[in-house]
């Protein structure tokens, strides 16, 4: 696959044709292969506690579903996580006694496939720790009494409708909030939330959730207007936004995970431009991680090399510097476009320009360090070369930032570097000045 990739295509938004579609198809094929391996393991091992669940039938039906149904489910963030955990069972790295709970949750995907194909199906399913059942991969879920937490239940589908029963109790059907037809807000499904560990989850009421959604919907609309190719990529790849708590009132808290591709986690802010920056930043990390699956960009043997980062007070690996430079190239590029399109108060414009100025020096620093210390693959070399070009174009676009603000950005960057780097090198020296 690496031979067919041009790293230059992955630096800024190019839309969803050509290389993007090729890599997406390869991801779906790889996920189908992993599911077949899981099915073979299940048939061979037959772990205790799964009798009567008909999981083999459910897996076979998903694999046989039309591509328009199968592939989006195989690429759904929760399926990415489920497969990453399943690989541990297939490899013998996870205890077989844990298999019953893990594999029983596959029925959430089976229910989604039945809903989307409008098939009549009866499934034995497991409820979440909050007494919910999610047709994972769709917006639909059902709420049952709290007493049903973790219990087994019956799910029926027919004609595109979902019905879940626990004894005599019928589940109340609900829909996830939608930011766009393809992008939803999820803060309940255990198959999605399982790997989200870096920050706490938001615990909101309906009004707070509605405010979160309103700001993000407006942010996405502006992103679509300002950078349509990047928006198209984001819309094609992202399926879920997971709301995070922000107890210390930082400007924004966000994260993304390699085993939850297609989901992005972030906190609420009433500042739409800040949310746009965060969406772009985290999406860029996801995009490069998607590229990493096809080509490592860095040649083997460099994973332990720790270097100075202008973004942090601790040392970072080369891959982290590559991710940081890529993300802020796209953020800077976008913010400068917004500044040209729209009116801001003088104070607000100066604040945004000051942040951009500082980040321009950050990007320049990270790119120099990667150029000096990294041994890149051919795809990685093309990726780096295009990053330099896009950074140069952004510097040109930033010529209208007042010289005093650029100098302030330079001063703050130099102050940070003096504390944490050895001279003009990429060597990290901790807190020494």
Give residue-wise pLDDT tens across range 73-125.
999 999 999 999 999 998 988 888 889 999 999 999 999 999 999 999 999 99
pLDDT category of residue 2 using cuts at 50, 70 and 90: low
The pLDDT value given to residue 248: 74
Which residue is associated with the tokens 């896009």?
390
| Range 202-223 average pLDDT | 95
The pLDDT value given to residue 289: 87
Q: SS3 for 413?
A: helix
| Range 203-226 average pLDDT | 95
Give pLDDT tens digits for 16-56. Answer: 988 899 999 999 999 999 999 999 999 998 888 888 899 99
User: Among 189-198, 233-242, 343-352, whose mean pLDDT is lowest?
Assistant: 189-198
Q: With contact defined as beta carbons under 8 Å apart, do 235 and 216 qualify?
A: no
Give pLDDT tens digits for 65-75. Answer: 999 999 999 99
Query: For residue 127, what are its two tokens?
Result: 């409820």
Burial of 194 (0-12, 13-18, 19+ CB in 10 A): middle
The pLDDT value given to residue 305: 86
Compute the distance between CA of residue 326 and CA of residue 11 in angstroms, rounded to an integer: 7
Judged against a pLDDT cut of 50, whether residue 432 lies above it is answered with no
pTM assigned to the model: 0.92
| Range 354-369 average pLDDT | 98
Give pLDDT tens digits for 127-172. Answer: 999 999 999 999 999 999 999 999 999 999 999 999 999 999 999 9
Which residue is associated with the tokens 């993300």?
327
Q: How many CB atoms lie within 10 A of CB 95?
A: 10
Q: How many CB atoms lie within 10 A of CB 84?
A: 17
Q: With contact defined as beta carbons under 8 Å apart, do 260 and 82 qualify?
A: no
Among 13, 156, 52, 34, smallest CA distance to 90 is for 34
Judged against a pLDDT cut of 70, whether residue 394 lies above it is answered with yes
Compute the distance between CA of residue 408 and CA of residue 357 in angstroms, rounded to an integer: 8
Give pLDDT tens digits for 218-232. Answer: 999 999 999 999 999
Among 175, 103, 188, 186, smallest CA distance to 149 is for 188
Q: With contact defined as beta carbons under 8 Å apart, do 426 and 365 qualify?
A: no
Judged against a pLDDT cut of 80, whether residue 320 lies above it is answered with yes
Report the Cα–Cα distance between both ends of the chain, in Å, rounded: 46
The pLDDT value given to residue 433: 34
Judged against a pLDDT cut of 60, whether residue 431 lies above it is answered with no
The pLDDT value given to residue 225: 98
Q: With contact defined as beta carbons under 8 Å apart, do 185 and 70 qualify?
A: no
Q: With contact defined as beta carbons under 8 Å apart, do 263 and 290 qualify?
A: no
Judged against a pLDDT cut of 60, whether residue 1 lies above it is answered with no
Compute the distance between CA of residue 227 and CA of residue 246 in angstroms, rounded to an integer: 28
């Amino acid at each position: 696959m690496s031979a067919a990739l041009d790293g230059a295509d992955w630096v800024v938004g190019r839309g969803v044709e050509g290389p993007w579609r090729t890599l997406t198809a390869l991801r779906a094929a790889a996920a189908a292969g992993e599911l077949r391996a899981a099915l073979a393991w299940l048939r061979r091992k037959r772990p205790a506690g799964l009798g009567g669940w008909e999981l083999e039938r459910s897996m076979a039906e998903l694999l046989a579903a039309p591509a328009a149904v199968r592939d989006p489910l195989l690429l759904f963030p929760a399926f990415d996580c489920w497969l990453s955990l399943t690989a541990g069972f297939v490899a013998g790295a996870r205890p077989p006694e844990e298999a019953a709970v893990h594999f029983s949750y596959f029925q959430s995907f089976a229910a989604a496939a039945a809903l989307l194909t409008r098939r009549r199906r009866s499934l034995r399913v497991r409820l979440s720790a909050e007494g919910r059942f999610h047709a994972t991969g769709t917006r639909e879920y059902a709420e049952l009494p709290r007493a049903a937490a973790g219990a087994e239940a019956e799910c029926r589908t027919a004609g595109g409708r979902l019905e879940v029963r626990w004894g005599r109790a019928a589940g109340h059907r609900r829909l996830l909030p939608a930011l766009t037809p393809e992008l939803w807000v999820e803060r309940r499904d255990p198959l999605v939330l399982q790997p989200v560990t870096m920050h706490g989850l938001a615990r909101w009421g309906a009004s707070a959730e509605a405010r979160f959604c309103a700001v993000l919907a407006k942010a996405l609309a502006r992103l679509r207007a300002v950078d349509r190719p990047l928006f198209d990529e984001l819309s094609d790849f992202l399926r879920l936004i997971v709301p995070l708590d922000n107890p210390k009132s930082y400007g924004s808290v966000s994260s993304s995970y390699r085993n939850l591709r297609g989901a992005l986690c972030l906190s609420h802010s009433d500042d739409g431009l800040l949310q746009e920056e965060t969406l772009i930043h985290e999406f860029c990390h996801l995009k490069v991680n998607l590229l990493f699956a096809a080509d490592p960009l860095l040649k083997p043997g460099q994973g332990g090399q720790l270097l100075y980062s202008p973004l942090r007070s601790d040392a970072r690996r080369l891959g982290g510097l590559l991710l940081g430079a890529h993300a802020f190239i796209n953020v800077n590029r976008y913010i400068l476009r917004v500044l040209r399109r729209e009116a801001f108060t003088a104070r607000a414009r100066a604040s945004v320009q000051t942040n951009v100025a500082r980040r321009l020096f950050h990007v320049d620093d990270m790119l120099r360090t990667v150029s000096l210390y990294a041994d890149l693959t051919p795809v990685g070399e093309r990726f780096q070369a295009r990053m330099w070009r896009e950074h140069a174009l952004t510097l040109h676009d930033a010529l209208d930032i007042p010289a005093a603000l650029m100098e302030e950005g330079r001063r703050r960057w130099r102050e940070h570097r003096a504390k944490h780097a050895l001279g003009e090198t990429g060597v990290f020296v901790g807190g020494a000045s």
